[in-house]
Amino acid sequence: MTALLRDDLAMLEHIYVQSGGQVAGVDEAGRGPLAGPVVAAAVILDVNKPVTGIRDSKKLSAAKREALSAEIKDNALAWSIATASVEEIDSINILQATMLAMTRAVASLSLSPQVVIVDGNKAPAIAYECHTAVKGDNWVPAIGAASILAKVERDRIMLEADKNLPNYGFAAHKGYPTRAHIEALEREGISDIHRKSFAPVRKYALKSKQEYR
């Protein structure tokens, strides 16, 4: 595994050419929240159908992410989204659950990539040539595309959770540890989609639980 830096564009271009364009970018959404699954996406972009405006999903508005997500799905050679559940996060820890979701996303691609580039400095153990790129969602288009797909899907999941658990405010904070979320935990106790292995959640484990249906 090679860690790519922002100045490694020549190496990145070489990887891309050697692979015939089938480079899978991989990213995740949802490592930091106190509730909900972690979501990973893998995307192989089509050089003949470029999608403009791709960048780190956190720097895009929700409306722009939604529009780009649809465009990426329509124009990519292949894309896949996978999750690791709250139960898996609590069982094997959030880092390993993130790696698991990434592995599932790559494995679910309809095309086998020659090269996989993962955002960050850690990558899952997969059966492909794999590289990491810190902040790659800003400068590796396939990673940026994966970032967008993962974020849009996770937001969708948390909006659905909000319909079932309206007292927690998931539609607004998506499970992140905002003041409103902490206040909801103090008031309601934990739900079945809260990550019980996370310290801010554990302290409320003995409070009343609202069943997630």
12: Cβ contacts below 8 Å, ≥ 6 apart:
4, 117, 140
E strand intervals along the chain: 2-4, 23-29, 38-44, 78-84, 115-119, 129-133
What residues form DSSP beta bridges with 80? 42
Q: Tell me the two tokens of residue 97.
A: 């659950």
**pLDDT of amino acid 15:** 74
Average pLDDT over every residue of 117-133: 94
**pLDDT of amino acid 55:** 86
Residue 76 pLDDT > 60: yes
Confidence of residue 210 (pLDDT cuts 50, 70, 90): very low
Judge residue 146's burial from the number of C-beta atoms within 10 Å of its C-beta, 0-12 exposed, 13-18 middle, 19 or more buried: buried
Alpha-carbon distances of 123 from 52, 98, 107, rounded to whole Å: 27, 9, 14
**pLDDT of amino acid 209:** 45
**pLDDT of amino acid 64:** 96
Tens of pLDDT along 46-64?
989 999 999 888 899 999 9
Residue 170 pLDDT > 60: yes
Which of the pair, 21 or 185, is modelled with greater confidence? 185
Q: Among 5-14, 32-41, 151-160, 195-204, where is mean pLDDT lowest?
A: 5-14
Alpha-carbon distances of 26 from 53, 157, 160, 202, 203, rounded to whole Å: 18, 19, 24, 31, 34
Give this prediction's pTM: 0.91
- Distance (Å, whole) CA 25 – CA 42: 6
Q: Among 16-20, 27-31, 83-87, where is mean pLDDT lowest?
A: 16-20
Domains of the chain with CATH codes:
2-161 (3.30.420.10), 164-202 (no CATH)
In 27-176, which ranges are continuous DSSP H helix?
Answer: 62-75, 86-92, 94-107, 141-164, 170-173
Q: Compute the mean pLDDT over every residue in the chain, rounded to the nearest whole number.
A: 91
Residue 40 pLDDT > 80: yes
- Distance (Å, whole) CA 213 – CA 183: 22
* Cα angle value 35/39/42 (rounded, 5°): 170
Look at residues 148, 127, 129, 125 and name the one whose alpha carbon lies nearest to residue 137: 148
Confidence of residue 9 (pLDDT cuts 50, 70, 90): low
Average pLDDT over every residue of 158-162: 98
Residue 213 pLDDT > 60: no
